[in-house]
């Protein structure tokens, strides 16, 4: 009778006397970037962005350079050997070396960025054609224009200019001679599709040694004409 009374009291015990083995749930975690983690009472002050008064420009390729005009070749140097090409009257490919053009003689070599381009066609080559007699009267035996173009383009250009043998138009098609003297002109960032060509220059060589070098900035035409060579002869 006493046992049943005890059980009855336990069953009817108030809820405040009950015991639980479960622990209170931890408060939910909130993300640092969750909207709930930002209180409406808190203030947000963005960090100021630092602006440089002289921002660095994007990397670009240009035909202009900040450094002084220079090349791998200089006055007093021996011209590097290279093979140049042209088409003869029969349309056959002929080759000539730089040493053959310059050995034991005075030779004028000048370069253009490209056949059929405006300044090269209207001023540079015609100027040397016009002054070829005066240059030869001063002892120049060879006058040659070098271009990073193929022999077929140069033959068509010669016919278009209607010139004879006053000036040789020679192909440095792969740019070997141009690279050897450090006169490359990278025009690959231009939309006309010229790629890597030659900077404009004129030089006077005696027995293969550079006596005068007029190297232009890119394709400019200010100091590499026939008149500039005549002044120093």
Residue 176: how many other CB atoms lie within 10 Å: 14
CB 169 within 8 A of CB 86: yes
Catalytic residue from among 98, 120, 144, 181: 120
3-state DSSP assignment of residue 140: strand
Q: Using the structure block, give the residue that is written with the tokens 């006077």.
A: 204
Q: What is the largest CA-CA distance in the chain?
A: 148
Residue 88 Cα to chain centre, angstroms: 34
Residue 31: how many other CB atoms lie within 10 Å: 8
CA 110 – CA 201 distance, rounded (Å): 5
Active site residue 120: yes
CA torsion sign for 63, 213, 145, 182 is negative
Cα dist from 154 to 2, 117, 163, 221, whole Å:
126, 12, 12, 20
Q: Using the structure block, give the residue that is written with the tokens 């108030």.
A: 14
CB 203 within 8 A of CB 218: no
Catalytic residues: 120
């Amino acid at each position: 009778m006493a046992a049943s009374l005890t059980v009855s009291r336990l069953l009817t015990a108030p809820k405040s006397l009950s015991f639980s083995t479960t622990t209170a749930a931890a408060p939910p975690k909130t993300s640092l970037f969750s909207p709930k983690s930002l209180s409406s009472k808190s203030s947000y002050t963005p960090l100021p962005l630092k602006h440089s008064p002289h921002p660095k420009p994007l990397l670009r390729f240009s035909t202009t350079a900040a450094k002084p005009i220079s090349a791998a070749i200089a006055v007093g140097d021996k011209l590097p050997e290279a093979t140049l090409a042209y088409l003869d009257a029969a349309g056959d490919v002929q080759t000539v070396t730089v040493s053959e053009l310059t050995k034991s003689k005075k030779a004028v070599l000048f370069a253009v960025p490209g056949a059929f381009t405006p300044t090269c066609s209207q001023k540079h080559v015609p100027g040397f054609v016009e002054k070829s007699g005066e240059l030869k009267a001063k002892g120049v035996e060879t006058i040659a224009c070098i271009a990073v173009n193929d022999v077929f383009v140069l033959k068509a250009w010669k016919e278009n200019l209607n010139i004879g043998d006053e000036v040789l138009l020679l192909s440095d098609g792969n740019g070997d001679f141009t690279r050897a003297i450090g006169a490359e002109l990278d025009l690959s960032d231009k939309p006309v599709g010229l790629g890597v060509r030659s900077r404009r220059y004129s030089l006077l060589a005696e027995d293969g040694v550079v006596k005068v070098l007029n190297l232009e900035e890119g394709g400019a035409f200010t100091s590499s004409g026939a008149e500039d060579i005549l002044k120093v002869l």
